[in-house]
Structure 1
Amino acid sequence: MGNEVGNLQLVKKLNRIGILNIIREHNTISRQQLAKLTGLTPAAITGIIRDLVATGYVVETGFGKSSGGRRPVKLQFNPDSGYVFGAEITRKNATLGVVNLDAKPVMLKQYSIDMTEPQQGLDLLADEVAKMIIESGIDRKKILGMGVAYPGLVDITTKVVKRSSNLGNKWRDISIENWLQDKIGIKVFVENNSNAAALAEYILGRGKETKNMAYINLGEGISAGIILNGMLAYGFKGYTGEIGHLVIYEDGPLCNCGNNGCLESLYAVPALVRKANNELALYNQKDTLKAIWLEKGNVTIEDIIANANEANTYAWELVRQAGWYIGKGVAAIINVFNPEAIFIGGILAEAGNTLMEPLTESVQKHALPELIREVKIELSSMRKNTGFYGACAVAIKALFEGGGDALLDV
């Protein structure tokens, strides 16, 4: 008897989350249409909708056209019935915010948080989440989860962070999910930052309906999130897309991963900034970036990008060189996975055409002609905040999958 009751409760919950997902996918839909789509009886649909309206996930928005008989009541998903937090972690900064269940931002802020010490960094992040909950004024019961976009290797089965060459050597075998859940009392979902960004591009950005695509993240590291047949491609343990660790120069600088001459060690943002500050002393005194270097004593990636559009300047040459070699990594993704679209994001993507022209030329040279002919290569629609929206998308996706445990009570 106990098993029968449990099975009935499970079926009821699965039916409710299934119906809710169908309503989310439609602008408006009626009870009658739901019955036809699902095969459930009108009585079952009526009971489920009653529950969903009572909990606020569904609203009735008037009457549709009648095809004979009573006019059908139109139903819509209510995205403000719940909210999720999103956080994108980098070495020295974190982007933190809260969105509704349609990923529309309510709050979005940047914080200076040093993540080289895992416990201290995560504790500070948890403190900021607690402050933002109060500042947002959102009922805590409506905060359903938190997504974290993390720059490193995340085990797909355990969600334990195995390591992060970008954050430092203390990031080994750490469970971000458990740590943050214990601190803030919210269900946490962690994902590799490039995977999260790819999901955001696929669900919210230019990648909609593009079932085979890759997102290239150009920030503190260089990596790719890959979607095949509409699903994130994880590989055996979840470590796909680490194109930043393609060795392109055997005698190159030491990479954080331990090898020499990786793409990331030469053309990720920290490498570009380091290269600029080392070389500008020897460069033309009339160069615009050199003038900033002389005034401030150093330049930032923002300085480099702001001056990269002027042809034949140091910043222009540096970004173009980066674009050419990054294009080799993109060509490798195309040759291996045969996507229909590539989206370029991360802070370096702010350089626009100065980056994209040599990158595309390099891809054309190094990818197989049969594979590159129909591939669309574009800048991401969300640019440097894609990781944050990806973290939110990860949380929302998890909430509406797997039976909807975090959304619906039995």
Structure 2
Amino acid sequence: MTNNGANSKYVKKRNRITVLNLIKEHGPIGRQELAQITGLTPPAITGIIRELLELGLVHEDGYGESRGGRRPVKLTFNSKAGYVIGVEVTRGETTVGVADLMNDPTDIARYPLDMSEPAAGLASLAELLRRIMNDEGKQGRSFVGVGIAFPGLVQAKTGTVQRSVNLGPAWRSYPLQEKLEDVLGLPVFIENNSNACVLAERWFGGGVCCRDLVYVNLGEGISAGVILDDRIVQGFQGYAGEIGHIVIDESGPQCNCGNHGCLEALCSVPALIKQARRDLPGLADGDPLKARWQSSGDIELADLLAVAQPGTYANALLSRAVHWIGRAVAAVINLYNPEAVFLGGQLAGAMARFEPILRDAVAAHAFPEIASATRIAFSALGEYPGVIGACALALKGLLHLPEARLLDAHLE
């Protein structure tokens, strides 16, 4: 037995979101053109446009050329009809930005939130987002959704965080989306941070012309977001892309996941700093990294990069890490045959000088016929790819089927 009511509601949503996206992508555009493209009748188009005008999602914007009779009224998408919040959660801080419906992000800022414990983290995050929404609301901005790029295993369909080895052991099967929606009263969309970044790369970065691409996120953790045939690869449980837990060296250090010698335990930013701190006492007194350590009492990634000249400990440490990352990129190329692989994250931004090492490792370990057709590039999304990706997640859930939740309240 079919549910005709549910089917009718879905068709109504599909038609309206299709027309809205056509105006968004091709506007200014007239009603007759929309009818021709969609196959909907002119009266149906007229009714849909009337609703979209009433909602403020589109507006009439001048006239087209007449082909006999009255000049057609052109329609354009109102990108300021609503705003989304993009959130990138990391171990030490949470970065938040606001974007309009064309994902033009503004007001991006970092906040020192402790997200190691779910309930307390939820309360802190909700308080922060309410404050931002209130401040932005004073400027006349109305919010329609929230996107979150989250580190760890995320079931995107339910918004459940299954596990986050980077945030801590307390994150187990936590329904973050449901709880945050209850608090904020807005649609919330959650994805693994690398999936958010690959979506941003596909829509707004170097992958705008690619239907098959991979984004390798090199930061506090290491993971990959994969798009094949223009769809994010989720995997059976939604956890695809955890390349940071490929074992590189079985005798290597223990990873937060419990294994030994994972790529993440060897090459992530925290792993590199931890290794350097462990090795510092044994370095020769003339080593520039040791000199920095003795002067400041500690080191960070910036210190490693500043002194990584040929013949130094820092150069050897980073060169080895880049080689291992190159081997992982080769594995990704062999597995997915992507058109392009983009490297992003905190470490990627500092890897340009080591690019020959990366490419040599890829050439040595990737299948030649596959690798020769794959473009490898550093992401040009800038400092906040996670926030751009989180905003993109919200827009995807609001403006694209099957969810298209922007119109839900108006289709009841």
**TM category, shorter:** over 0.9
- Offset at residue 345 of structure 1 (A): 0.3
| Corresponding residue of 1:316 | 315
Deviations 1:350-404 (A, max 9, x none): 1041243311211111001011001100001114421111111111101112363
Change (3 A) 1:202 1:326: same
| Corresponding residue of 2:130 | 130
1:297 has 2:297 as partner: yes
| Corresponding residue of 2:395 | 396
Q: In 1, Cα distance between the equivalents of 2:392 and 2:251?
A: 40
Identity of aligned residues (%): 47
- Residue identity matched to 1:344: L
Q: In 2, Cα distance between the equivalents of 1:302 and 1:184?
A: 38
| Corresponding residue of 1:379 | 378
1:35-184 equivalent positions in 2, closer than 5 A? 35-137=35-137, 142-184=142-184
1:81 match: secondary structure: coil
1:152-301 equivalent positions in 2, closer than 5 A? 152-301=152-301
- Offset at residue 287 of structure 1 (A): 4.5
- Offset at residue 138 of structure 1 (A): 5.5
Q: In 2, Cα distance between the equivalents of 1:289 and 1:32?
A: 68
| Corresponding residue of 1:358 | 357
Change (3 A) 1:228 1:162: same
Moved more, 248-257 or 275-284: 275-284
Change (3 A) 1:6 1:185: closer
Moved more, 379-388 or 330-339: 379-388
2:68 match: secondary structure: coil
- Residue identity matched to 1:24: K
Moved more, 174-183 or 62-71: 62-71
| Corresponding residue of 2:344 | 345
Q: Which runs of 4+ in 1 moved over 4 A?
A: 3-10, 138-141, 284-288
Change (3 A) 1:5 1:210: closer
Asked if structure 2 preserves the Cα contact closer than 8 Å seen for 1:14 and 1:403, the reply is no
Moved more, 157-166 or 319-328: 157-166
TM-score (norm 1): 0.93
- Offset at residue 10 of structure 1 (A): 4.5
Moved more, 310-319 or 165-174: 310-319
Change (3 A) 1:287 1:56: farther
Q: In 2, Cα distance between the equivalents of 1:188 and 1:180?
A: 7
Asked if structure 2 preserves the Cα contact closer than 8 Å seen for 1:255 and 1:261, the reply is yes
Change (3 A) 1:43 1:28: same
Asked if structure 2 preserves the Cα contact closer than 8 Å seen for 1:349 and 1:355, the reply is no
2:132 match: secondary structure: helix
Change (3 A) 1:240 1:9: closer
| Corresponding residue of 1:330 | 329
Change (3 A) 1:145 1:355: farther
Deviations 1:168-226 (A, max 9, x none): 11111101101212222222111011111111101111111201110000011111000
Asked if structure 1 preserves the Cα contact closer than 8 Å seen for 2:305 and 2:350, the reply is yes
Deviations 1:31-71 (A, max 9, x none): 11101001112222122112212211112221222333322
Asked if structure 2 preserves the Cα contact closer than 8 Å seen for 1:97 and 1:108, the reply is yes
Change (3 A) 1:37 1:120: same
- Residue identity matched to 1:178: E
- Residue identity matched to 2:148: V
Cα RMSD between the aligned structures? Answer: 2.0
Change (3 A) 1:138 1:364: farther
Change (3 A) 1:144 1:267: same
Moved more, 135-144 or 227-236: 135-144
Change (3 A) 1:152 1:403: closer
- Offset at residue 312 of structure 1 (A): 3.9
TM-score (norm 2): 0.93
- How many positions carry a matched residue from both structures? 407
- Residue identity matched to 1:64: G
2:97 match: secondary structure: strand
- Offset at residue 112 of structure 1 (A): 1.1
Asked if structure 1 preserves the Cα contact closer than 8 Å seen for 2:88 and 2:149, the reply is yes
1:370 has 2:369 as partner: yes
1:169 match: secondary structure: coil
Q: In 1, Cα distance between the equivalents of 2:257 and 2:214?
A: 23
- Offset at residue 303 of structure 1 (A): 3.0
Q: In 1, Cα distance between the equivalents of 2:78 and 2:17?
A: 14
Change (3 A) 1:282 1:36: same
Gap regions ≥5 residues in structure 1: none
